[in-house]
Amino acid sequence: MVKDSTFKAGLMLVLAAALAACSKPPPPAEPVRSVKVMTVGAQGANSQLEYAGEVRARVESQLGFRVGGKLLERPVEAGQRVKAGQLLARLDAQDLTLATDAARAQVAAARTDRDLAAADFKRYTELKNQGFIGGAELERREAVYKSAQAQLDQAQAQLSAQGNQAGYASLVADAAGVVTAVLAERGQVVAAGAPVLQIAQDGARDVVFSVPEDKVAAIKVGTPAQVRAWSAPGLHPGVVREVAASADPVTRTFTVKVALQAKDDLTLGSTVSVLPQALQSAGTPVIKLPTSALWQQGQATAVWVLDPASMTVKPQTVQIATADGNDVVVAGGLQPGMQVVVAGVHVLAPGQKVTLYQASKSTDTTSQAQTVPGTSAPAR
């Protein structure tokens, strides 16, 4: 019996040792990370919103003929300055001249008919006075005379209209300006109203630029803006004159026009930078963080906030408003006074203990070279 008990005890010891050897070792303790932190506080924003714009004329119109025909002459080219009343283009007016001649012939025929009806009415009036005809016949002759007079008036009106049509064969400038586009060439048959030239009239200038739909609500008509030309130094003051009521169907942006002062004679088509005062936030107190403090938590942006009492970190979701240089502006999620980790954020876990990073002070040791006295030769 003693041998059996001894055997059983040994067997139990062997099984316990085997189980101990097969069990997994306990996981190592989470290391204490060293992190850099910064205390959140309100700072002045430094960024300025600039938009690229283009200088355009206040009035820029496309000119075309009021009649159709073959373009016979176009003495102006793109970029050329024109004066009011200057000939811009001319159509072949042969058909229009023939139509005018036909209308003039109709007037002559209508006048002849009117004169004949007037003579008959006069003669029948005398016969009525002598008692040779009745009143009904005289009234009939009077109606014929009035009809002939109306036909003459109609023919004269058609002649005037046709004369205007012949005059429309010449396209002249309504005002002084610059030809910004040529839309038809010599020999081309153009329809009535089709644009042939585009003229930017002299006078006031506008700067046209586009803003996204999340910014357009802040821009109101009458608010000031500053314009900086790329080719010349200095700022030009302006005022928002027009804000588009609907977005562009392609870019989904809103067109804004800024009116410049009369003395600011910027070159048409030149590129400028526009700084709308309504969208500037320079100097406004905001909470800023370096981009190294951000990390992705699912679909949101988060930072690690330090608990000084327990020296642990916890995630905090934040909302980003915009960029400000190399920093980001936080719109929500943080309060002044919080301590946020700004380095090493991707190796942390919720509740992990950390220590504050301390920069090591390296002492530069300068080795001092010892001078070995040389052996002087004995004097001879």
* CA 241/CA 336 separation, integer angstroms: 40
Mean pLDDT of 84-103: 91
Q: What is the mean pLDDT of the chain?
A: 83
**Going from the N-terminus, what domains does the chain have, and what CATH number goes with each?**
33-42+283-356 (2.40.420.20), 51-58+201-279 (2.40.30.170), 93-168 (1.10.287.470)
Say how many Å lie between the first and final Cα of the chain, rounded: 112
- Whether residue 162 contacts residue 31, with contact meaning beta carbons closer than 8 Å, is answered with no
- At 364, the pLDDT band (50, 70, 90 cuts) reads very low
Residue-level pLDDT at 76: 94
- At 371, the pLDDT band (50, 70, 90 cuts) reads very low
Residue-level pLDDT at 363: 43
β-pair partners for 118: none
* CA 317/CA 263 separation, integer angstroms: 52
> Is 354 strand, coil or helix?
strand
- Of 12-16, 21-25, 36-40, 206-210, where does the model show the most confidence? 206-210
Scan for tokens 């590129």, then name that residue: 271
| Lookup: tokens for 27 | 């996981």
Mean pLDDT of 43-52: 72
